[in-house]
Amino acid sequence: MAVNATHSTQSDARELPSPDSSDTTGQLAAVLQQYWGYPSFRPLQLEAMQAVMQGQDSLVIFPTGGGKSLCFQAPAVCLPGLSVVVSPLISLMKDQVDALQACGISAAVLNSSISAREEQEVLNRIRSGDLKLLYLAPERLLTERMHELLANLKLSMFAIDEAHCVSEWGHDFRPEYRGLSILKKKYPGVAVHAYTATAPEIVRQDIIRQLGLVNPKALIGSMNRANLIYQVRQRESGLGQILEVLERHRHESGIVYCLSKKNVDATAAALNELGLKALPYHAGLSAEERKQNQNAFLKEEVNIIVATVAFGMGIDKSNVRFVIHATMPKSLEAYQQESGRAGRDGLEAECWLFHSSADLMSWKRLLEQSESPDGRESAIKALNDMANFCHSSQCRHVALAAHFDERLPIDNCGACDVCLNEVPQVENPLVLGQKIVSCVYRVDQRFGADYVSQVLVGSNDKRVLANRHDQVSTFGLLASENRRDIRNWISQLICQDFLTPVGEYNVLNITDKGHQLLRGQLTPLLTKPANTTSRKLSGTAKEVSWEGVDRDLFEKLRALRGEEANGRSVPAYVVFSDSSLRDMARRRPSTLDSFRLISGVGSQKLTDYGPAFLASINEHCQSQQLSQDNVPPAVQANSLKSPNNPPAKATAQAIAAFPFFDQGLSVPETATKIGRAESTTWGYLQEYIRHHRVTDPSRWVDPATAAQIQAAIQKVGPTPLKPIFFELEEKISYNQIRIVVDCLANQSANV
């Protein structure tokens, strides 16, 4: 069955049409603004909402943080009747209902977590028609009692959240979801909409089949998470590397994933000893402890959670700013899921992965104990894919997308260690690899990594001398290197399957690939030793999204958010997202009217939180004598006053060039700095001009030329460019023409 899907490109947020139009798009836009305070749709959101409005079944696949929930929530507000949302986890339901209520939307949950009295209240609200959204677990929805209730009501839709749970092919099959196949039969005429972040074709088709979706509209977003900055490193100092990352994220929330309960406890204890407040989470803790620790994290009483992979499912916390993998995960699927918990709010977030060949061996041991022979083969393949990813020199975003069958048209994402050139390769990896592998050969493939490194540095260790390995040709071949780095390279060679550790003592053997390396037929990837994480990250995405933000004020507002959240017993991000707080600390509104312009402030939040946040902002600005009611260029275009002219969102690659344009470097100079072709860099400049709404072209085009171009534009119009080019007798480049055209457009947009 071919799914006729609409795919998104990495395109800009869709501008809002004028909110007062009477069509459904206008209605949705108005609801988005009034309840959520959002001025634009995310890619494909509008299409997904339209399917709901039209009652056409749909299958929506967006990555985590892509904004799936709004796809059914906003239409649910517009449509008459009750929308029923199926969700697998009590914690997820509660958070979504909290978030809806905070926006002033009538929503409720029916599950085992509420008292009989609360349940009665919810039932009354359902019968009275007051409720817009009802969250249920599948078991509850499928009871006869529930059917009796719903059969007599006007239902606007069924929304199936985490729809991959219906498929045995997915990673989180829940048999209860299977029963949902009956919905289409029991409630003819009510559309069913499925939402998930899990994309494989086989799962997609299974969802459609299992739920019996009829001619569903399939909307498949790009799975690329452009706001995630991937950093992959060989593990060296373990805790030291983790500490360096934590240092970069003081006062920010994040997760540290460890392999075992033991590792979790040890890491959490070590962090606490160092004065960093961290709580553990793993299956060895009691359910009560787990809940407490999770809540403390959600309420931001503690910023760091150290966990096994047991943690995360059902965590909707939007402002996780970093995820650290202290060890290599078992598959790219697991890695994508776990690292994907960072940055749901769309702001930049870092995903650090520290790996070593020891991880590969631990996983293999575990797999041998746990998997059936059939399962083992695919598990080993998944593990090898993961290890290859760690050692690849391909852009992380591109490699991850490719694993999930998506081709990203990116040549430099500007947001991963490879593209940022954070981990340079050694100059001559073939020769270095050959030296190491031939030393393994010279010692007859009878020794482990530590011993081989001793021979390579030319150590006078007793064992080396007793074995007469000071006589072999590779003795002292890497005398200028240190042993730690050599062991590191050996580890890289193991991960890339040039060497393999065998038996109890991990004796190094040479694989077929290793022999090809010796013959010079294959070249390994070997990274330069470096105190890796201490290198300052360029982190351009970060600089951009913090631009103009008063950090002290941000911290004050963050504390206030915590208090407000505690007072109402909701997670902090339900009050405001990080991006709303940054917007506040950037614009620094002085009145409720200007507070209303902050992204994420709808009517209800304006009433509930406006006064307290405003008071804090005003007090801070007065004491620090800071300007207020600022309209930063990028935000200006998002304001409702110019709904037809949103700011162009720049690509991550272009953003990498922005600091150089800011410094006033020319296009050729910037091209050299970022290592890109001049023609590409002109494209980035165009993005810069559009994004920052630059009105003055004189930094790139001399005034006389600009005047000539302007005169030509007046004569033949601003588009297409060709007539302008000919009007100028083909003497002025398209690049320069484009810059002037865009600056002029910005001038008129700013009027």
Which residue ranges make up the site for ligand ADP (CB under 6 A)?
38, 40-42, 45, 62, 64-70, 318, 344-346, 577
CB of 533 to Zn ion, least distance (A): 18
Nearer to Zn ion, 383 or 395 (CB): 395
The reply on whether position 395 binds Zn ion by CB under 5 A is yes
Query: Which of the choices Zn ion, ligand ADP, none does residue 577 contact, using the CB cut-off of 5 to 8 A by kind?
Result: ligand ADP
Query: Which of the choices Zn ion, ligand ADP, none does residue 395 contact, using the CB cut-off of 5 to 8 A by kind?
Result: Zn ion
Structure tokens that stand for 251 in this block:
């006062």
The reply on whether position 413 binds Zn ion by CB under 5 A is yes
Query: Which of the choices ligand ADP, Zn ion, none does residue 329 contact, using the CB cut-off of 5 to 8 A by kind?
Result: none
Structure tokens that stand for 261 in this block:
């309960």
Task: Measure the CA–CA gap between 346 and 330, rounded to whole angstroms.
Answer: 26
Which range of residues in 114-122, 237-245, 321-329, 397-405 is near Zn ion by CB under 5 A? 397-405
Query: Which of the choices Zn ion, ligand ADP, none does residue 68 contact, using the CB cut-off of 5 to 8 A by kind?
Result: ligand ADP
Query: Which of the choices ligand ADP, Zn ion, none does residue 413 contact, using the CB cut-off of 5 to 8 A by kind?
Result: Zn ion
User: At 725, phi and psi to the nearest 5?
Assistant: -55, -45
Which range of residues in 193-201, 410-418, 644-652, 715-723 is near Zn ion by CB under 5 A? 410-418
Segment (H or E) for 734? helix 734-750
Nearer to ligand ADP, 60 or 246 (CB): 60
Cβ–Cβ under 8 Å, residues 187 and 83: no
Q: Which amino acid is at 694?
A: V
CB of 14 to ligand ADP, least distance (A): 9
Q: Which of 134, 190, 285, 419 binds Zn ion (CB under 5 A)?
A: 419
Nearer to ligand ADP, 41 or 135 (CB): 41
- What secondary structure does DSSP assign to 27-92, as a single string? HHHHHIIIII---SBPTTHHHHHHHHHHT--EEEE--TTS-HHHHHHHHHHHSSSEEEEE-S-HHH
Nearer to ligand ADP, 62 or 257 (CB): 62
CB of 132 to ligand ADP, least distance (A): 17
Structure tokens that stand for 195 in this block:
């939402």
Report the alpha-carbon angle 518-523-524, nearest 5.
105
Nearer to Zn ion, 454 or 651 (CB): 651
CB of 222 to ligand ADP, least distance (A): 13
Q: Which amino acid is at 380?
A: I
End-to-end CA distance of the chain: 52
Nearer to ligand ADP, 64 or 492 (CB): 64
Nearer to ligand ADP, 73 or 459 (CB): 73
137-141-145-150 Cα dihedral, nearest 10 degrees: 130
Helix axes 373-391, 396-403, angle to 10 degrees: 160
Structure tokens that stand for 182 in this block:
């009956």
CB of 347 to ligand ADP, least distance (A): 10
Cβ–Cβ under 8 Å, residues 430 and 493: no
Nearer to ligand ADP, 142 or 207 (CB): 207
CB of 187 to ligand ADP, least distance (A): 24
CB of 325 to ligand ADP, least distance (A): 20
Query: Which of the choices Zn ion, ligand ADP, none does residue 419 contact, using the CB cut-off of 5 to 8 A by kind?
Result: Zn ion
The reply on whether position 416 binds Zn ion by CB under 5 A is yes
Nearer to Zn ion, 298 or 419 (CB): 419
Give, in order, the Cα–Cα distances in Å from 226 to each of 11, 407, 683: 11, 14, 19
CB of 75 to ligand ADP, least distance (A): 13
Q: Which residues of 566-590 are buried (b: 16+ CB within 10 A; e: fewer)?
A: eeeebbbbbbbbbbbbbbbbbbbbb
Query: Which of the choices ligand ADP, Zn ion, none does residue 64 contact, using the CB cut-off of 5 to 8 A by kind?
Result: ligand ADP
Number of helices followed by number of strands (H, E) in the chain: 36, 16
Nearer to ligand ADP, 66 or 75 (CB): 66
Pairing of strands 58-61, 217-220: parallel
Cβ–Cβ under 8 Å, residues 710 and 740: yes
Beta bridge partners of 502: 507
Query: Which of the choices ligand ADP, Zn ion, none does residue 70 contact, using the CB cut-off of 5 to 8 A by kind?
Result: ligand ADP
CB of 437 to ligand ADP, least distance (A): 46
Strand, helix or coil at 602?
coil
CB of 345 to ligand ADP, least distance (A): 5
Segment (H or E) for 6? strand 5-7
Which range of residues in 69-77, 137-145, 415-423, 705-713 is near Zn ion by CB under 5 A? 415-423
CB of 417 to Zn ion, least distance (A): 8
The reply on whether position 400 binds Zn ion by CB under 5 A is no
Give, in order, the Cα–Cα distances in Å from 556 to each of 296, 561, 613: 19, 9, 10
Site string for Zn ion, 520-549 (x = CB under 5 A): ------------------------------
Task: Measure the CA–CA gap between 682 and 7, rounded to whole angstroms.
Answer: 28
Nearer to ligand ADP, 33 or 488 (CB): 33
CB of 744 to Zn ion, least distance (A): 34
Nearer to ligand ADP, 491 or 638 (CB): 638
Query: Which of the choices ligand ADP, Zn ion, none does residue 73 contact, using the CB cut-off of 5 to 8 A by kind?
Result: none
Which range of residues in 43-51, 412-420, 427-435, 660-668 is near Zn ion by CB under 5 A? 412-420
Query: Which of the choices ligand ADP, Zn ion, none does residue 96 contact, using the CB cut-off of 5 to 8 A by kind?
Result: none
Query: Which of the choices ligand ADP, Zn ion, none does residue 416 contact, using the CB cut-off of 5 to 8 A by kind?
Result: Zn ion
Task: Measure the CA–CA gap between 215 and 228, rounded to whole angstroms.
Answer: 34
**Residue 413 half-sphere exposure toward CB, CA atoms < 13 A:** 24
Nearer to Zn ion, 50 or 224 (CB): 224
- Dmax (CA) of the chain: 91
CB of 195 to ligand ADP, least distance (A): 7
Task: Measure the CA–CA gap between 660 and 663, rounded to whole angstroms.
Answer: 5
Segment (H or E) for 723? helix 721-727
The footprint of Zn ion on residues 168-187 (CB under 5 A) is none
Nearer to ligand ADP, 346 or 683 (CB): 346
Cβ–Cβ under 8 Å, residues 14 and 65: no
Contact residues for Zn ion, defined by CB under 5 A: 395, 397, 413, 416, 419
